[in-house]
Structure 1
Amino acid sequence: MNTDIEQILEFDKIRNTIAGLSVSELGKSLAKNLKPISDIIDIERMLDIISEAKRINIVEGGFPLSGLQDIRQVMKKASIVGTILEPLELLNVASTMRVARNLRSFAKEFFDKYPIIYEIIDNLHTFSDIEESVSSSIDHEGNILDSASPELYRIRRQIFAVRERITRQLGSILRSPDYQTAIQEDVITLRNDRYVIPVKQNQRGSVPGITQGRSASGITAFVEPNAVVELNNELQELISDELIEIRRILGDITDRIRQVIPQLQNSIQILAEIDLINAKSLLCVKLGTTRPELNQNGYINLIKARHPILQMNIDERNRLNRENNIQNPEKIVPIDFYIGDEFNTLVITGPNTGGKTVALKTVGLLTLMMQTGLHVPVGDGSKMSVFNEVFADIGDEQSIEQNLSTFSSHITRINRIIKQLDDSSLVLLDELGAGTEPSEGAALGMAILDYLHSRGVRTVATTHHDSLKAHVYSSEGMENASVAFDLATLKPTYELRIGLPGSSNALKIADRLGLPKEIIDNAKEHLNPNNIQIADLISNVEEMQKELEEQKKIAEERTISAFKTQQAHELLLRQLKSSKKEVEREALTE
């Protein structure tokens, strides 16, 4: 699928959100490379996986992924013979191994409830022996434990004993009356990794030994007395033996990891996949999504569809408002949208900022999400088609470098779309015919719609041209739609009405806002009579639709009331029958 569409429809924001919900860099890297696919079998499987993952997060408390690390670079290092992994690197490897083991244990408890995810997790390898070696050798801060090996334990016991002897010997010198006048301070310290005592520089010769350094002021010499020179030498040899034993221990664990690198790399790939699945399902839960029914026939029927990014923005503002005790939360207005059955081309009209472009982007973005294996924010029973390509010309992208006007920019992109599309394409065109002389723009818009319709693609376009509405009305397989506008409040309702063309309502809005009546009347005289007739027709149809909706509401309320009354009568009848039987039983008993 073309890469431009992902940015135009802001699919990159969906990717980034999924990456942010990932536990590790493993999942983040997969999330950032998510691409829509067009194989319906693969998409169906991905949707089924998300269905299971959503239930795991809602019912089972989520996947046990805590501790998952990105150890891919560590594995590359370990694969080189002779290299030794550092303690913190080994801790990360063991932590990731522990996640694999925990996931396998977790999946075994629910293998019958979540068979697809169980199948994925069941391919994980476990490495309990290596985990145990790391945990018994290294503490959580990366320090090597005495229990790492018997030899290390023996060496450290000797180090402790030699240090004790050095400390006792130096303590004896510090307390000795023979050296009291020469001692600068009653402390034992280290210089050049050797134990020393501070001696006054002007009495340096009073304490036989080796000078290991001087203070910054020069008044103190740090002397290693002759009595501890051999002990310090012995200590240094033991410390060297300790380091050699530690490297041997780390090297041994590294060698064991090196032997299982193929299995570990396979498990890392599976863990990355589970991390991604978990992040995708968390987004779906957050958005309140539903699994749509899929087809390859170009048929879309979205029930109460919501633009996911708009919904997340509103949810975040509402959260901040709640924290600040601000009431009246914002609500997103869902849309009902369908195409691909009775008509393949839909043209949406209506005032600016009324929701036309949002409706266009909603259809496109939800299609990309579905083809990436995500459930989408729609109502139950929604149906979506898998497309080979989704194209869009949305927004004013003037190119100064290429010296392209708004109109030229639109035509350039539409031309690029035409060259790439096939009959399994979804094409989204915003403000079709805009940016040039209205009559020519409208004529070109009609021709573009006719061409796309003849190619069998599914086309959704927005426009302000009245003549395009009339053209759609008279063309078989095309349909008009509009976004509703409340003239009483001068605010859009964002409701999408398929089957009813809209108008910009410019004159009515100007009149409501108090523009002098003579200007409004003069403007009406300049209108094309045909446009006036179309506007009046639209207005009349809108009024008729409102009346029908009110009548439908009244009829539904009456139906509900009649149903409740019927239920009450049936309940009363059952009670009477029950009472009658009880009376008959009592009569027979007597």
Structure 2
Amino acid sequence: MNDKVLNTLEYKKIKQSIEQYLTTKNGQKELSELYPVDNPNTIQTWLDETDDGAHILRLDKEISIPKLEDVSPYIKRLKIDASLNGSELAKINKVLKTSNYLVRFFDNLKADDVSLNRLYKLINEVQSVPTISKQLSDSIDDDGRVLSTASSELNSIRRRMDVIKSQVRSIMNQYTQKNSKDLTEPIVTIREDRMVLPVKAENKNKFGGIVHDRSSSGQTLYIEPASTVGLNTELRQKEVEERVEERKILAELSDLIRPYQYEIINNAKLLGHFDLINAKAKYARSLKATRPTISKENIVNLKQARHPMISLDKVVANDLYIGGENKSIIITGPNTGGKTITIKTIGLLQLMAQSGLFVTANEGSSVAVFDNVFADIGDEQSIEQNLSTFSSHMDNIVDILNSTTKKSLVILDELGAGTDPKEGAALAMSILDKLAEQGCDVVATTHYPELKVFAYNRPETINASMEFDSETLQPTYHLLMGIPGQSNGLNIASRLGLDESIIVEARLLVDQESQDLNNMIVELTEQTKRARENADELSVQLNDATQLHSDLSEEFTKYKNQKDKLVLAAKQKANEIADAAKQKADAIIKDLREKQKQIGEVSVKENELIDAQGQLNSLRHDVDLVHNRVLKKAKAKHDFHKGDDVMVKSYGQRGVLMQKLAQTEWEVQLGILKMRIDESDMEKINVKNDETRFNSKVKRTSSKGLSAKLDLRGHRYEEAMHEVDQYLDSAVLAGYPSVTIIHGKGTGALRQGVTELLQSDRRVASFNYSPANAGGDGSTVVELK
């Protein structure tokens, strides 16, 4: 693709947005070299990779790669037998460790049966060398410092150095404590890499040793006491030995990785490529972009396409279709209506797709593969349209006409502008005819009304326009395919208050044909607007219905799975019971035979025993739970309806179902009482006549186990009210004359709720707060009828 069109369509801004997600130098380098290609296989491969990265993100995972430097300069030094320093080796080791991590990451994905298009094949190219990486990790840290574990010699040297430093520090601390009066400050400081004391000049003879420095005033001398000179000298010698040993270790490590130069460079490049794939996927997620398909017919069909540089809360989406019978699109209409941003969207999304990037359009969108994209888009916001502007446009168009093929996409903004309108319109039509001869796809915008008729009469050419709301006098930025742009000048002038006589005279000056055409366009625009609004509404309803269907299907699948598990468990249980019965029966038959042998008399015939054993064996079979009469009968007992007679198990009383109060709770008439009962506490019963139903008596149960006090403290409001209702039922049945409900003081919500419930309860004769010595208004005493 030519550099000019990449700048015009702001392709480089897309790459800048992707760059923020990169962590490796090689990834940044690969992104800088990324440009649209015209090879369908390459595009397909790139899209597969981006799709894999997006799929991994959807699984709440990530191709996590740390910040990696470019190690190629260090590898070049290895080629000339140079030794690397600690920092360089640490950066190479970081590449090796990341390579090992990434191999394990994809192994785990494969073990979890995660399906990927391309990345499993790509990760096989990464060379894992864990032994080399481990030796490097044992020898140098992430900052390049050589570790004591690198060699026993280095460890021994550093341990001796620590001992010496400790001894020197101990001696110096004694000086700061015992001779503090002779010091400017009771501290130990460093001069020429040696520990020294800040001694007052007049007391220098008390310390002896070596003077390493003096203050600018000459009042302080920095002295190394004689008692530490020997230790510090030994320490300097050990430091020299340490540096020699470190250089030796670094040389050995350099020799260790020298045979793996190709693997390291290749891994670094692959890590950069994985980094770019991850960045593309993250960028797609941030834009809510989707994967386009590559059209075999070279048709661009972008559904609800959005410009990627405009925020989602402001951008207006449009359906964009180019190719087939619509190889040329002529977009007409006034300025500021969104024509330029629409044609930029077409070009930019096509460039993104040919770079292996997802596009900001809905699922099911397709793109073509163009050998080149050309664009002549000028800034039409300036007032003047002078000769130099026109010349500049013509220079661009000449270059385009000389370079296009039948597989090119040409984008032209304000074609023919900058000159006399009649000449400009004629020139625009001639240019469009020439491009049509060359067979390329064209999207052009224009102000000239003559091009509306031109587009209507030319084959494979279609009119389009940007919708304009005549009520609000504002553009809606919606693209209307098949409808030319309408002229709104007179309508706008009228709505803005221009004298009506001027408007009438202006309309007389416009020929009738133009007026009829404009009226037709207005009518078509209104129809299209209504159709789009209806389609949007139907789309929302379809999405809701689809989601509901999906949810119901998922729940039904769960139900079937649970049902199958329960049936299987029931069959297994039935078989266990049958097996146990058979074993007992076999034991009995065996015992009978033994007894027959003992008494010598055959009281039971053998064939009868065999028949009995066969009947017992038939007990074990695949139990048909669906047609099991016992289960059917049990199920019928819990198939409740209003008016059914039921047995309330906890009270041992018959009742009648009055109404369903909740999913599993009913209001039950028990004699003169109405109670709230759960379905699990009831069984349906058959009553032969109505007399039996209404003559049932409610017996008071023993009060044993039921407390005369109900404590609601710490309970939620709804739960507490339900408990009070059930408690009063039990208290009435138990025959309690009065009970106490403890609700506490707190915020007063429970107390208020209890009061309101008792006021409307027919079971309550009266109620009042407890005496002051028994809780006061923290509890309520209830007298029952």
TM-score bracket relative to the smaller structure: 0.7 to 0.9
Q: Write out aligned runs for 1:286-305 (5 A).
A: 286-295=286-295, 297-305=297-305
| Residue of structure 2 equivalent to 1:420 | 403
- Say which SS state the counterpart of residue 353 (structure 1) adopts: coil
| Residue of structure 2 equivalent to 1:255 | 255
- Aligned-pair distance for 1:212? 1.5
| Residue of structure 2 equivalent to 1:158 | 160
| Residue of structure 2 equivalent to 1:578 | none
| Residue of structure 2 equivalent to 1:322 | none
Match of 1:349 among 306, 310, 332: 332
CA distance in 2, matches of 1:447, 1:523: 31
Q: Write out aligned runs for 1:304-323 (5 A).
A: 304-310=304-310, 314-315=311-312
CA distance in 2, matches of 1:115, 1:551: 39
CA distance in 2, matches of 1:336, 1:371: 19
Match of 2:319 among 331, 336, 351: 336
- Aligned-pair distance for 1:252? 2.1
Specify whether residues 339 and 209 from structure 1 end up closer, same or farther in structure 2 by C-alpha distance, changes over 3 A only: closer
| Residue of structure 1 equivalent to 2:503 | 520
CA distance in 2, matches of 1:376, 1:282: 13
1:48 aligns with 2:31: no
| Residue of structure 1 equivalent to 2:456 | 473
| Residue of structure 2 equivalent to 1:511 | 494
Question: Partner amino acid for 1:459?
Answer: V
Deviates further, 419-428 or 354-363: 354-363
The answer as to whether partners of 2:180 and 2:186 remain within 8 angstroms in 1 is no
CA displacement 1:447-470 (0-9 Å, x = unmatched): 011111111111111111111111
CA distance in 2, matches of 1:125, 1:131: 12
| Residue of structure 1 equivalent to 2:578 | none
Question: Partner amino acid for 2:64?
Answer: P
- Say which SS state the counterpart of residue 21 (structure 1) adopts: coil
The answer as to whether partners of 2:411 and 2:442 remain within 8 angstroms in 1 is yes
Specify whether residues 96 and 518 from structure 1 end up closer, same or farther in structure 2 by C-alpha distance, changes over 3 A only: farther
| Residue of structure 2 equivalent to 1:71 | 71
Alpha-carbon RMSD across the aligned residues, in angstroms, is 3.2
Percent sequence identity is 37
The answer as to whether partners of 1:397 and 1:409 remain within 8 angstroms in 2 is no
CA distance in 2, matches of 1:420, 1:10: 21
Question: Partner amino acid for 1:431?
Answer: E
Question: Partner amino acid for 1:92?
Answer: K
- Aligned-pair distance for 1:3? 1.4
CA displacement 1:26-71 (0-9 Å, x = unmatched): 2122222210000111111211222221101111511131354433
Deviates further, 129-138 or 213-222: 129-138
Specify whether residues 523 and 70 from structure 1 end up closer, same or farther in structure 2 by C-alpha distance, changes over 3 A only: farther
CA distance in 1, matches of 2:241, 2:153: 10
Question: Partner amino acid for 2:97?
Answer: R
CA distance in 2, matches of 1:549, 1:55: 33
1:539 aligns with 2:522: yes
Question: Partner amino acid for 1:450?
Answer: D
The answer as to whether partners of 2:183 and 2:198 remain within 8 angstroms in 1 is yes
1:7 aligns with 2:4: no
- Aligned-pair distance for 1:554? 10
Larger Rg: 2
The answer as to whether partners of 1:68 and 1:99 remain within 8 angstroms in 2 is no
CA displacement 1:229-274 (0-9 Å, x = unmatched): 3332222111111111122222322332333111100111111111
CA distance in 2, matches of 1:8, 1:174: 74
- Say which SS state the counterpart of residue 81 (structure 2) adopts: coil
CA displacement 1:485-527 (0-9 Å, x = unmatched): 1111112122111111112412212222223323333433443
Question: Partner amino acid for 2:119?
Answer: I
| Residue of structure 1 equivalent to 2:749 | none
CA distance in 2, matches of 1:551, 1:62: 41
| Residue of structure 1 equivalent to 2:151 | 149
- Aligned-pair distance for 1:180? 7.8
CA distance in 1, matches of 2:536, 2:200: 101
1:130 aligns with 2:132: yes
- Say which SS state the counterpart of residue 357 (structure 2) adopts: coil
1:360 aligns with 2:359: no
Aligned length: 544
CA displacement 1:55-92 (0-9 Å, x = unmatched): 011115111313544333343444442332233x3333
Ranked by relative contact order (alpha carbons within 8 Å, sequence separation 6 or more), the top structure is 1
Specify whether residues 397 and 216 from structure 1 end up closer, same or farther in structure 2 by C-alpha distance, changes over 3 A only: farther
TM-score by length of 2: 0.64
1:379 aligns with 2:362: yes
- Say which SS state the counterpart of residue 36 (structure 1) adopts: coil
CA displacement 1:286-308 (0-9 Å, x = unmatched): 22222222135432222111111
The answer as to whether partners of 1:387 and 1:426 remain within 8 angstroms in 2 is yes
- Aligned-pair distance for 1:393? 0.6
| Residue of structure 1 equivalent to 2:39 | 39
CA distance in 2, matches of 1:546, 1:184: 90
- Aligned-pair distance for 1:533? 3.6
TM-score by length of 1: 0.84
Specify whether residues 175 and 461 from structure 1 end up closer, same or farther in structure 2 by C-alpha distance, changes over 3 A only: closer
CA distance in 2, matches of 1:2, 1:186: 73
The answer as to whether partners of 2:95 and 2:264 remain within 8 angstroms in 1 is no
- Aligned-pair distance for 1:184? 4.5
Unaligned stretches of 5+ in structure 2? 547-626, 634-785
| Residue of structure 1 equivalent to 2:624 | none
CA distance in 2, matches of 1:105, 1:558: 45
Specify whether residues 521 and 137 from structure 1 end up closer, same or farther in structure 2 by C-alpha distance, changes over 3 A only: same
The answer as to whether partners of 2:293 and 2:365 remain within 8 angstroms in 1 is yes
| Residue of structure 1 equivalent to 2:283 | 283
Question: Partner amino acid for 1:153?
Answer: N
CA distance in 1, matches of 2:290, 2:542: 29
Specify whether residues 127 and 442 from structure 1 end up closer, same or farther in structure 2 by C-alpha distance, changes over 3 A only: same
Question: Partner amino acid for 1:437?
Answer: D
1:84 aligns with 2:81: no
